[in-house]
Amino acid sequence: MNSFVERYSTTSATGQLRRAQRLADEEDEFSDAAWGSSAGFGNIVKGSPSFMVPNTPDPTSFLRLHTDDHADPSCRIKIQHGTTTLAFRFQGGVIVAVDSRATAGSYIASGTVKKVIEINPYLLGTMAGGAADCQYWETYLGMHCRLHELRNRERISVSAASKYLSNLVYSYKGMGLSMGTMVCGWDKTGPAVFYVDSDGTRLKGDIFSVGSGSTFAYGVLDQGYRWDLTDEEAQELGRRSIYAAGHRDAYSGNTCNLYHVKEDGWKFIGNYDLAQLHNQGYGYEHRVEGRSSANPPEVVATA
């Protein structure tokens, strides 16, 4: 009874002090319940983007126990990804080529997935890994690229955009994100390609390929890549690399979406059905009959 009176009494200074202390304690308890006192957010920089997570003692360990991990291949939840994405830069800009197949284990969930995220008129991002993670975070990156333009009255560089994405996903390292993306574009320094993954890794290079079919794509890319490729040769190289991956990798295929990033922005070249490419001369059966890669067949985009 005395504690009840002290809590709600307005005449007692001691009661007001104790009431304020209790309210402060209740707010601290609510804050811990909402964010999780051991949720792994202790090292997040103040003001960085963050989201509420379930109040588990240690979500990182929980995910490691229930998701696909090299130390426990027989775990209950198997996260399997299959795709082929590639990007390379040359004297005429950046070529971005991707397949369109989405798989759920051994099941082909879709054959018309758009794996290129159009961040802004000068920047493109690719999708490999978890589709939801790539779509959300690259769309979120596009918002901040636009804010940068409004604040600084100039386009964000490819390097800065990739660095922002890398810092963002690093804050959630170990939380279950699955991303392997390439940020491609043209800025003041010329064409640029950066690889960013869900661990926060960020690499700059001339050629990148990500996904289960990347080993097949690299075989074609390494054989045909030169800095002085013409636009037509570069587009043909990207198209042929995706065809090779789709032909040999069960988790890649259906169609090839081809983009070309130039100084004045990116351009969608076309959507090519891989089965039609095979019949139009890309297949082994046609090449042994006399066709050579030096004289590629005429191809027609389906869309």
CATH number (domain holding residue 179): 3.60.20.10
**What pLDDT was estimated at residue 176?**
78
**CA 15, 20, 25, 29 torsion: positive or negative?**
positive
For residue 10, the Cα-to-chain-centroid distance in whole angstroms is: 57
Does residue 104 share a domain with residue 24? no
Helices (H), 45-129: 59-66
Q: What percent of the chain has pLDDT over 70?
A: 67
Nearest alpha-carbon partner for 40 in 197, 167, 175? 175
Nearest alpha-carbon partner for 52 in 37, 38, 34? 34
Does residue 167 share a domain with residue 18? no
In the chain, the number of structural domains is 3
Does residue 110 share a domain with residue 215? yes
**What pLDDT was estimated at residue 291?**
52
Domain of 199 in residue numbering reads as: 85-287
Give 184-235 pLDDT, tens digit per residue. Answer: 999 999 999 999 998 899 999 999 999 999 999 999 999 999 999 999 999 9
**What pLDDT was estimated at residue 35?**
40
* Average of per-residue pLDDT values in the chain: 80
Does residue 235 share a domain with residue 138? yes
Does residue 73 share a domain with residue 97? no
Q: How confident is the model over 4-12, as a mean pLDDT?
A: 50
Nearest alpha-carbon partner for 247 in 148, 116, 99, 129? 99
Answer yes or no: is pLDDT of 177 > 70. yes
CA distances from 157 to 109, 122, 131, 163, 201 (A): 36, 10, 25, 10, 18
The answer to whether the CB of 97 falls within 8 A of the CB of 258 is yes
Does residue 168 share a domain with residue 109? yes
Does residue 73 share a domain with residue 15? no
Answer yes or no: is pLDDT of 236 > 60. yes
Q: What percent of the chain has pLDDT over 90?
A: 55
Lowest mean pLDDT among 34-38, 156-160, 240-244, 253-257: 34-38
Q: Give me the catalytic one of 67, 83, 103, 215.
A: 83
Give 255-289 pLDDT, tens digit per residue. Answer: 999 999 999 999 999 999 999 998 887 876 555 55
Structure tokens, 69: 């991990």
Three-state DSSP state, 268: strand
In a domain, 303, yes or no: no
In a domain, 51, yes or no: no
Does residue 251 share a domain with residue 132? yes
Does residue 250 share a domain with residue 164? yes
Answer yes or no: is pLDDT of 99 > 60. yes
In a domain, 297, yes or no: no
103 part of the active site: no
**pTM of the predicted structure, to 2 decimals:** 0.73
The answer to whether the CB of 275 falls within 8 A of the CB of 100 is no
